[in-house]
Amino acid sequence: MFVYLDNSATTKPYTQVVKTMMNALEKDFGNPSAMYSLGIDAEKLIRKSRESVKDLIGKGRGEIFFTSGGTESDNMAIICGAMKNGKRGKKIITTKVEHPAVLESMKLLEKRGYDVKYLNVDKYCNIDISEFNRELSDDVALISIMAANNEIGTVYPIQDLYERKPPDTIFHSDCVQALGKMRLHHVDLMSFSGHKIHGPKGIGGIYIKKGISIHPYIVGGGQEKHMRSGTENVPGIVGFGKACEISRKNLSDDGCEKISKLKRYFKENIENEISDIRVNTPENSLSTILNVSFLGTKSEVILHRLEEDGIYVSAGSACSSNKKGESHVLRAMGLSKDEIEGALRFSLSGFTTEEELDYTLDKLKKAVESFRSIARRR
């Protein structure tokens, strides 16, 4: 059996996405800036996709600009947002559990004299609103807080936080994991990625609210209204647009409720069948993510045992999988060494079935028991 439970790392593209992209590659290959019909047709496809992204995020008073993905959108929002508002002050507020695309941007800004405050989280990855309030002051240039965490699935109260910010502070939210899985509250800058919603890799977008002007991050031929130069990735853009169209339908058809139910079913079965665990994901979380620590085990070993049975899961965050070492998120949550070492992330999608989860539970139970019995004999 093949069971893919690493949908927070990336997702399988929808068949319709692949077909749309193939068409764009084979037929609509013109340069969207060209003045003849081949170019105009490609330009029309981009316009249609932009509308599909806007429809999914919920129409707001702002514009979508296509980028190469979540990482570029995060870098652009944070670096350009902070620089633009640098006259206001050099203070930035973020959390300790953001994606590396955010945290590494913060490090660059720190080297340029910005003072970054990293909010703490509790044992379920929630931030403390009173700590956020204490950090607010008139010299805050930028706030960057994700809509939902990619390792744990914890959802953040973005609307509440946005309403508390000083009027001229720019608020950015990394919505890469949340897109298509929950209703988003519009803030000043928002980042998205295509491959987390069954679209292609290497394409994403940034939402910029009307009235917020930031300098472009990539300059050149002036595409994307001068906000992101470079000949447009038309196949990627149309694939992303198609994935947004399908995700919007799933969102309104309660597709996420179906995934939530499967996640609850899987979580309860793990709790009933496997002892000495800690469920790290809180009740109020993204429908797709379940993070569990199997105490007295090493997640990397369990992960490879599962792989032998055709099951794909992740230990920590697969986004930073080329980095060895502890997850910065689990560490920030204050988990013990044992809890961190035994943590696995299961991430579901609309393709996940109950049968796949039953099969996974059976293999997982055997892998955990075998690891523990070998460890006991040592």
Interaction between residue 347 and ligand PLP (CB under 6 A): no
Closest CA to 349 of 202, 236, 180: 180
Q: How far is the CB of 95 from ligand PLP (least distance, A)?
A: 12
Using rule CB under 6 A, residue 6 touches ligand PLP: no
Cβ contact 358:273 at 8 Å: no
Q: Which residue has the tokens 């084979």?
A: 26
Tell which positions 202-221 bind ligand PLP, by CB under 6 A: 204
Q: Does 69 bind ligand PLP (CB under 6 A)?
A: yes
7 binds ligand PLP (CB under 6 A): no
Q: Is 49 in the site for ligand PLP (CB under 6 A)?
A: no
- Cβ 119 vs Cβ 333: under 8 Å: no
Residues 30 and 41 sit within 8 Å (Cβ to Cβ): yes
Is 314 a binding residue for ligand PLP by CB under 6 A? The answer is: no
Closest CA to 164 of 139, 192, 137: 137
Strand 115-119 and strand 91-95: the pairing is parallel
Among 11, 20, 52, 71, binds ligand PLP (CB under 6 A): 71
CB 190 within 8 A of CB 171: no
Given the complex with ligand PLP, which of 106 and 367 has the nearer CB atom? Answer: 106
Shortest approach of ligand PLP to residue 101 CB, angstroms?
Answer: 5
Instruction: Say whether 319 is catalytic.
Output: yes
Alpha carbons within 13 A on the beta-carbon side of 259? 24
Residue among 74 and 356 whose Cβ is closer to ligand PLP: 74
> Closer to ligand PLP at the Cβ: 203 or 256?
203
Separation between Cα atoms, residue 241 and residue 245, nearest integer Å = 6
Please report how the helices 255-273 and 234-252 are oriented relative to each other, as an axis angle in degrees rounded to 10: 80
State the Rg of the chain over Cα: 21
Rounded least distance, CB 217 to ligand PLP, Å: 14
From the list 177, 223, 285, 297, which residue makes contact with ligand PLP (rule: CB under 6 A)?
A: 177
Find out whether 227 and 66 touch, Cβ atoms under 8 Å.
no
Q: Does 174 bind ligand PLP (CB under 6 A)?
A: yes
Q: Least separation, in Å, of the C-beta of 100 and ligand PLP?
A: 8
Phi, psi of 260 (to 5 degrees): -55, -45
Q: Binding mask 186-205 vs ligand PLP (x if CB under 6 A, - otherwise)? A: -------x----------x-
Query: What are the angstrom distances between the C-alpha of 22 and each of 214, 235, 348?
Result: 34, 7, 27
Site for ligand PLP in 90-119 (CB under 6 A): 99, 101
Smallest distance from ligand PLP to CB 146, Å:
6
Task: List residues with catalytic annotation.
Answer: 319
- What are the residues binding ligand PLP (CB under 6 A)? 69-71, 74, 99, 101, 146, 150, 174, 176-177, 193, 204, 319
